[in-house]
Structure 1
Amino acid sequence: MTQIQYNEKVELLISWSKAYYVDDNPIATDEEYDILNREILAYEKEYPKHTHPNTPTQRVGGLVLEGFEKAKHLSRMWSQEDIFNTGELEDWIKRASKVVDRHTMSFVCEPKFDGASLNIIYENGVLKQAITRGDGSIGEDVTQNVKTIHSIPLSIDYNELIEIRGEIVIKKDDFEKINQQRLQDGEPPFANPRNAAAGSLRQLDSAITAKRKLFFNVWGIGENTLEFEKSSEAISFIHSLGFAKPPIQTLCKTVEEIEAVYHEIIAKRESISMGLDGMVIKIDDLSAQSDLGYTVKFPRWSCAYKFPAVEKTTKVLSIALQVGRTGAITPVANVEPTLIDGSTVARATLHNFDEIKRLDLKLNDEVIIIKSGDIIPKITKVFTDRRDGTQIDITPPTNCPECNSELLVEDILIKCQNLDCPSRVVNSIIYFASKNCMNIDGLGIKIVELLVNKKKIKDVLDLYSLKYEDLEGLESFKEKKINNLLNAIANTKKTELHRVVNALGIEHIGEVASKQICLEFGADILNVTSEQLEALDGIGEQMANSLLEFIRVNRALMEKLFEIIQPTIEKKVEIDENPFKDKTIVLTGTMSVSRGIVKKELESLGAKVSGSVSKKTNYLIYGEDAGSKYDKAVSLEVKTLTEDEMRKILGE
């Protein structure tokens, strides 16, 4: 065989491979493919220096890695905002319409494949690197494994740097064959194609990846220099480079048209060879995408319209009680293990005991349980007509399941107020030390867990009795680190009283309420009455009861803590009238100075600066890259101001 004949045979094998793996339309028998493949392999073995750079024989794998290196995406890989019904679809379009003219919008609709996200970087027409999604900025380099996937070209007819993004999946038929083989080999079967795809992509032995018949579906582009005006045009160009087209891809103008495509995909879901979990909707115009930009998590120009939840019938066996950081008790239903959409579900959230009452749920009831997208499984219906007399009422607890302390019960909230409760200790100390509370630098999650596990501390008070010798010899603790931590703890002394109160993590009493109460009562906070608290603007019965119950349970601890810290007592200052006095304000986005400085500035004017937007918010003041808080403020019709507008008002 000459070099020219070899190159011709390689091009023929590439075309056969594309027809089989990408177009799903074989143009040669398996026997013909194997014979040609062996001929090419024999030539390459004899003349390794003449090997064609894109020969399909290089996809067989065989390289065993020691581990995966971390790799940075050229541009961030975003998640998708999930929507579940027509109302949420209309709300999503309405939000986009505040930036882009609704009449000019068109939407690309296509299936959302259920697999593992992958980013492929091509440069000078050659596959340079393949990276898993990871945290969106940094993933794992799986280039060697990706080169074994036939639906991913090793080279493309485009020389500029480009990131091509998509989903790695396993076709349903191939998934069944893999599981049959695993059972024959005495191995446990994969739960679903998504898990099989993700696991196959991250095999350290690329030969195993090569055997799994992974498939790549393009859904987007990252870094690029393409000059298209429409997303659909850009993706069409990517398909022309040798990537598979989706089974359905439609341009829509109206909600009705989007809904029609959505239901078409649902109807065809079982006949499509790969698993789907929804439909992706993207605004087609690329300049509109640029104008809309991103929230903290999602592009504002794209969303995932998830398929209806999968539901099954099961039986409630028992109720487990979970104690959270703030001491809130959450009931969780233990149910008969049930297979839903490829995974076994044995627990379901119930949120609170009010939910149990609303459902009229009893032990041994048969119920409907659903799993929708990434939402934790939950119970949606109780079959009361199927009761057989074995059902038992579910009663709320009166004592903490962990420490046996008496629980605070108010409406739907049931809470352990004991700061020494084992379930609260680690998280309460982490919260106490966090930046917006006592700001103890160096006391992060891992350090707190280590100190608690080594029995060096058991509550926030113990932080102030730590000595050098307590930390000496602990993992990663050297002289400098020990001294830095002890100094950071010592530096919290004389901290403002409201920061100390806020750091205790009292239910309903956040930073704003802590400041208001401490300004009003100062050192007498431990002796306030319900009437005094409720007389304050914005402090209702629920907040008052929560604070008083916390003080009752933890008075000794608070007295000792105040004695050690000697907190600074702020004095109430009369503030002149101004546009922001007594107003509730939320800050978001990047400003000319840190938001902390802006916050202090507004608080000095008598404003209450809150962390979340609600109907009671008077103003949302925003800087660059404003995120979801801005969207919520707009939806609630809260008045929004830029930082410049705020300063103009102050100047006036």
Structure 2
Amino acid sequence: MTLEAAAHRIQELTDQLNYYNYQYYQNAVSEIDDQTFDRLLRELQDLEQQHPSLMLPDSPTQRVGGTISKEFPTVRHRYPMLSLGNTYSEEELREFDERVRKAIGDDFKYVCELKFDGVAISLTYENGILTQAATRGDGVRGDDITPNARTIRSIPLRANSKELPALFEVRGEVYMPLEVFEDINREREENGETPLANPRNAAAGTLKQQDSSIVAQRRLSCFTYGLLGEGIAYKGHYESMLALQQSGFAVSPTFCLCPTLDDVLAYIHQWEQKRFELPVAIDGIVIKVNDYAQQEELGYTAKNPRWAIAYKYSAESAVTLLKGITYQVGRTGAITPVAELAPVQLAGTRVKRASLHNANEIARLGLHVGDSVFVEKGGEIIPKVTGVDLTQRADTSEPVTYITHCPECQTLLVREEGEGAAPRAQHFCPNQDGCPPQIRGRLEHFIQRRAMNVEELGPQTIRQLYEKGLVNNVADLYDLTYDQLIALERFADKSARNLLEGLARTRQVPFARVLFALGIRYVGETVARKLAEHFGSIERISQATYEELLEAPEVGERIAQSLQSWLAEPEHQALIERLRQAGLQLAQEEKTSAPSSTTLAGKTFVISGVFEQFSRDGLKALIEDHGGKILSSVSGKLDYLVAGENMGPAKREKALKHGVTILSEAEFLQLLEETGN
């Protein structure tokens, strides 16, 4: 393909994929299937790798992340990001309205918007292209998180409007959808980790991830709520929001023009209960004077605009009876205590159960069965017990004693060591291959959408297969026959054939997802992908030493120990062999495309640390594209160790011991240039 043809195809694919993204994420319309989209995206990625100078600034390949930052640069906001004054009462809202009327008269309108519980972000566009994304920071300066923001699919990389000025800024709120938040917390609890407090904290922590590919995995979203810049053609905020909608920005369709304060109050009352139906957490309503000229006339205090205010909903709390505590067993053996409550109406739902997380939380609350307990919804999502009404406690009640044995298989529970050899908060059942809920949990984890994606197989069918003795581990799924399935309750010819076909399709699932599907403790989606990229196959992971495992991105001591322990079990080795025989992908596909040059042919490299100009994956791709070979560990056979910031001392010592040449990033680029010449 000529350079001109490549440029044309890159432009064509970029426009096409951005259109499909817009239709899917803004209009909820899926015009092509996922397989076709992924094929077009891979074609664009390949072309951009061959011709990096032709990559367009709004390329959809930036959505997948991969950039690793050592730190976030500080940037100064062109317009200060002020906070809003808060009120929790209608009386204070009426006082705000009186102050506005006193200053500008009665001829004005308000705009009401939902106040999303997320992280404020400033997005700068130059000639329609996203050039910078920054956090609020102290309101004057914030962190430049542009690579992370580019992975959020509801943030346009290019604005589709000629009416917007050459340089403008959009303000928005990055949030974590409730479904994503619940998925993350479910996995954390199964792994014995402390659940995240609320979606806002989860979103804030995600935006500060050093690796943008992790941000892409977290599926954040963003609603925009403000437009700033010289030469804005719109007279008011409401018109600006309509324009942003038409330009491809995600603006919540719930914003409303309110001519009077009574209309504002009606809007507030409407959403007080309706907010619980939303897929995102909100904690109030923002009220703004619509007209920009009137906003300027009202002006600002040192911290807040005088033309806007936030009405905050009070957190709902209820008192109910703690009837008892049950204990759930997760797929990793983690025990989660659950408060069984007398049913109580809370935040739009009828609450009967609430997670107590672990033994430490029960001890902190000092719970007795029969207590009157205070219940709230954490982040207005997950019910939680926040305290005890001691005035209602019976003299005869006894403190809760945490169980010592698994409620399902009666195995003695264990608490692993944590920081400073203190026991971790979570108890575990160690009987992983004999505890029914652990077995069923691993099967359900294996077939879920983000793992092997067997849509034809659900929890009820798994329970039935397990109870009939047909399936005891994930490899048993591939031994199922038509005759076995057709004999089961609720199975007919079509459902039996569909299930077998669904299992057959999993033979095409990439190695990274297979590794995640195995359910190894602490090996989530991101870690599984990093391990697959770093080692390439299950054999290499199995053969890696503890130190070599630590060299992989995202792998710390806890993950390395878990991997070694799991892979050392003879039962798990046999399981892997059966999956291999079943035809599952247990290695990465080898790249078949020829390298751009043979500059580094015959040379071997290990990459370690964090780099200024490249992500580690990008550096590896560059080496391979010039004929070099990437190794997973340092040995006497290695030619070069490319060392970035924060490289582990063990690897450096090993390189020095074997006489391996250590290169900085600059020295590597110099080597590439010299050998090329």
TM-score (norm 2): 0.47
TM-score (norm 1): 0.49
User: Highest CA radius of gyration, 1 or 2?
Assistant: 1
